[in-house]
Amino acid sequence: MISAIDYNSTCLCFALDFAEQQRSGFGYSYSVYQGEYSRNLLFTHGRTMDQVFQSVIDRTRAPLDIKTVKTIFGYKHRPFKRNRNGKGGPRFEVAVERPVYDLTVFKVHFGNMTVKIYSKGERVLRIEVIVHNTRDLPCGRDISKFPQIIESLKAILERFLGVLRSVDVSFIDAGKMETWPLPSKVGAGRIAGIDINQPRMRAVMEAVIALSPNPRGFTASDLAVKVREIMGNRNIPYQSRQASYDLKKLRGKELVYRVGHSRRYEASLDGLQTITAFIVLREKVLIPLLACAGRRKPGTKPRNRSQIDVHYDNIQIEMQKIFQVINIAA
């Protein structure tokens, strides 16, 4: 959307001819108020798109702290193969109705910016970034800055996709993780290592994941607020000073970096992948397996078990056998 700003209170073009307008110095200044940049991913099969999209939502919604995901159910199931026998000719009408196929919207707001992913039509997955007021962009809003505005939106979208992929497909290097408790250097100063056994440090790592999609980064104050929220007590003595110290620890391990010379931070994509892998292993693998390894529930299993429940059950059986061999009391 392009808006025109008139520097005078009246429109002189209706009162003066062209020569008089030139002598008066009257002019217009055009600026970009809103902008949108999007990419479309085209799938061969609609059901494959649904499976991929829903799996990404399931794996990333909790770590990124997405409160709601909206789904509007359609009246048709997406076909496995492309439908080549559709009705010909477009329909020129405006109607508010139930969509043909399920519409799922994965949306994240950052002030005047919105990033969202949603299924569009039969086989199209759209990712788009919208800036509702271009004053939040660092490049300005004048019409001459339009290429820079588009480049900024493109960078925001690519950063969001990078974060989404790092959280969705996480990876942890055992050798790198062993160096976390060791001291490191940030600049000329020596900083303590990361103790993953501390609940506070784990909350900091979870907060970094939740704040990572923000295209403007996050501050120590933002991190302090998020940590208090994760720990379930907004009155705990964790303020910006403690958050800055913990961010230094993460910077020493190259998990987080400072944005330029500002006081804002971003998680590196490799660091985000490593942090997510550690959180997932601890919360989704170690704790559930160890909690249920010694006391499996008797009786028949429910018929409608999810795939992960079946895997948990099989692993728990094998872990009980391992405990018996190495003489560990479960």
Which CATH number applies to 174-280?
A: 1.10.10.10
DSSP 286: I
Q: What is the per-residue pLDDT for 88?
A: 43
> Would you say residue 241 has pLDDT above 80?
yes
The model's pLDDT over 117-168, given as tens digits with 9 standing for 90+, comes to 888 878 888 999 999 988 888 888 888 888 899 999 999 999 999 998 888 8
Q: What is the per-residue pLDDT for 96?
A: 39
> Would you say residue 219 has pLDDT above 80?
yes
Helical (H) or strand (E) element with 165:
helix 146-168
Position 31 confidence tier, pLDDT thresholds 50, 70, 90: confident
Position 234 confidence tier, pLDDT thresholds 50, 70, 90: low
Encoding tokens for residue 86? 């559709």
Average pLDDT over residues 261-277: 90
- CA–CA dist 163, 62 (Å, integer): 14
List, as one string, the DSSP characters of 136-161: GSTT--BGGGHHHHHHHHHHHHHHHH
Phi, psi of 164 (to 5 degrees): -60, -40
Residues linked to residue 115 through DSSP beta bridges, in sequence order? 108, 129
Q: Are the C-beta atoms of 162 and 46 separated by less than 8 Å? A: no
Break the chain into its structural domains and give their ranges. Answer: 2-32, 35-82+96-167, 174-280, 293-326
Position 94 confidence tier, pLDDT thresholds 50, 70, 90: very low
